[in-house]
Structure 1
Amino acid sequence: MRPTQILRSGGDGELGKYGKYMGTWGNMGSQPQKGIVSYALSGNRQRPLAGTLHAAFFNTWRRFSGQVLYVLPPFIVAYATMSWAIERNHYLNSKAGRLEFADEE
């Protein structure tokens, strides 16, 4: 049997002069690595919301204070312009406004 047939079949047989088949992907059959230590903490032991309320309050204040001077002045100008336009529209459509500007239309 040729080595490619064994590699395609996924068998653990000897490959003759090519040596031993290493195994499928993820199970290569090599020596275990030494000197690598990994630690893990169980999901039940973690505190995923620790400090969330405190961080959210101060982070919100920091972001708000950094952006307020970019956002507030245009809103103030837009509100003042809109209130002037509404007031002017009410005046022009009132009896006094129609009498004052009747000849312009």
Structure 2
Amino acid sequence: KRKRCSSAGHWTEQRAELHRLRLRSGQMNKEKLEKMAAQVRTGGKGSVRRKKKAIHKTTTTDDKRLQNTLKRLGVNNIPAIEEVNLFKDNGTVIHFNNPKGAANLS
């Protein structure tokens, strides 16, 4: 039995019945949907759903930034430093082999 729809926002009985059938045939219950949503969420409630967490590679970029900043300040490397010993007040020694040092020699 068809009914004529008076306005565009209302469903006819036939369309509503088709919609109910589609919902039943899909068999997507609430527990299954929550389980699927929990698998793709990397953070807590309110965070973005994504499969993989973005891993930022910062080790090389930090070194490049440091070198650019030192270059901007006019700092030059000090060559031929073979070892450095730091003597602390309690008598211990901190030893560095072949350290890289930089200074502004002006």
Tell me the TM-score normalized by structure 1: 0.31
Larger RCO (CA under 8 A, 6+ residues apart): 2
Is the strand fraction higher in 1 or 2?
2
Whichever of the two has the greater Rg, that structure is 1
